Amino acid sequence: MGTTAEFDAAWERANADPSSAQAEWAAALPLAREGFRVDPDLWLMRMRMAVSKLEDIATSPEIRVASEEAVHEILAYGRAGADSDPQRRDLLVTMLNSHSMRLESEGRLEESLALASEQRDLAEADAMAAPADGRTASILQHARDRLAELRLATGDAVGALEIADALVATSRANGEDPSQAPSGLPAWLELRARALAAVGDVAQARAEFETALEWKRARVRTGRFFLAHLDLAEALDEYAAMLRRMGDEADALAAEQDAQRVRVEKTA
């Protein structure tokens, strides 16, 4: 078995000479995988580092496959201890999220969806165990939001709508006012609007998106929110895209013009 000193030396060489980074990290990864199987505590950080570096720089298909295999070894380690070790549970949640996002960026949506679903299930269990924990609630909201987006992207508009309904209902039950404090409500209204449009409820989709836009316009008016103008302009672009998919070219063009006006006002 290779030693941590060998791994660390490869790390230093990769940092010293970026042109050799792929080769050095590719050589270091098998050391980390072998060591991880024997002593996970000692090698976990190094294995994650090698995977992270190779995900960014690897061009060889063989190296990318080896890197992904290492990710699955870390996931298996996290799953095996998730019910008894809080640190391994946190590791599992983190790795599920990061690898799901990586798969999504590569267009592997079904695989990404499976990991996002697993992450959501863990987050829901944690939220039930600690309902008053704000961090746990935030993690659950993020997990649900990602899963809904992936369901929508893979054609499961009904499943996406179910999650969006729950997110909106929770925000409203909490009495959130997005014009006065940070809130996910406008984004979740947009999500619900897009899901409604996908299932054919055009009128309600427009109404939901218009409500989201009103919240975002209110944020601009208060002047309290960083990049509120950009957020509004991007939402108007998304609204235009939704309207165009529904066949309403005139209103889509009007939304695009509104977005441009918002951007001009911000730079004026």
- The predicted-structure confidence for 220-233, as pLDDT tens digits, reads as follows 998 888 889 999 99
Question: How far apart are the C-alpha atoms of 80 and 77, rounded to whole Å?
Answer: 5
What DSSP element (H or E) covers 184?
Answer: none
Q: What are phi and psi for residue 9, nearest 5 degrees? A: -65, -40
**Which residues, at least 6 apart from 230, have a Cβ–Cβ distance to it below 8 Å?**
263, 266
Q: Is pLDDT above 60 for 1? A: no
Q: Is pLDDT above 60 for 94? A: yes
Confidence of residue 164 (pLDDT cuts 50, 70, 90): very high
Question: How far apart are the C-alpha atoms of 84 and 86, rounded to whole Å?
Answer: 7
Residue range 111-129: mean pLDDT, rounded: 96
Q: Which residue is it, tokens 């609007």?
A: 193
Tokens representing residue 45 in the block: 């950080």
* Nearest Cα residue to 243 out of 205, 211, 212: 205
Helices (H), the chain: 4-16, 21-38, 40-57, 61-81, 86-105, 109-129, 134-153, 157-173, 185-199, 202-222, 228-245, 249-267
∠ CA 238-139-169, rounded to 5°: 60
Higher local confidence (pLDDT), 253 or 177: 253
Q: Which residue is it, tokens 């996931």?
A: 75
Instruction: Report the pLDDT value the prediction gives residue 187, as an integer from 0 to 100.
Output: 94
Tokens representing residue 234 in the block: 């991007």
The whole-model pTM stands at: 0.89
Instruction: Report the pLDDT value the prediction gives residue 224, as an integer from 0 to 100.
Output: 84
Among 98-102, 230-234, 262-266, whose mean pLDDT is lowest?
Answer: 262-266
Instruction: Report the pLDDT value the prediction gives residue 266, as an integer from 0 to 100.
Output: 75
Q: What are phi and psi for residue 226, nearest 5 degrees? A: -65, 130
Q: Which residue is it, tokens 């050799």?
A: 20
Terminal C-alpha separation, the chain: 63
Question: How far apart are the C-alpha atoms of 110 and 60, rounded to whole Å?
Answer: 24
Confidence of residue 180 (pLDDT cuts 50, 70, 90): confident
Q: Is pLDDT above 70 for 268? A: no
Cα–Cα distances in angstroms (integers) from residue 12 to residues 9, 21, 153, 254, in the given order: 5, 10, 41, 55
Residue range 47-71: mean pLDDT, rounded: 94
What's the one-letter identity of residue 70?
A: A
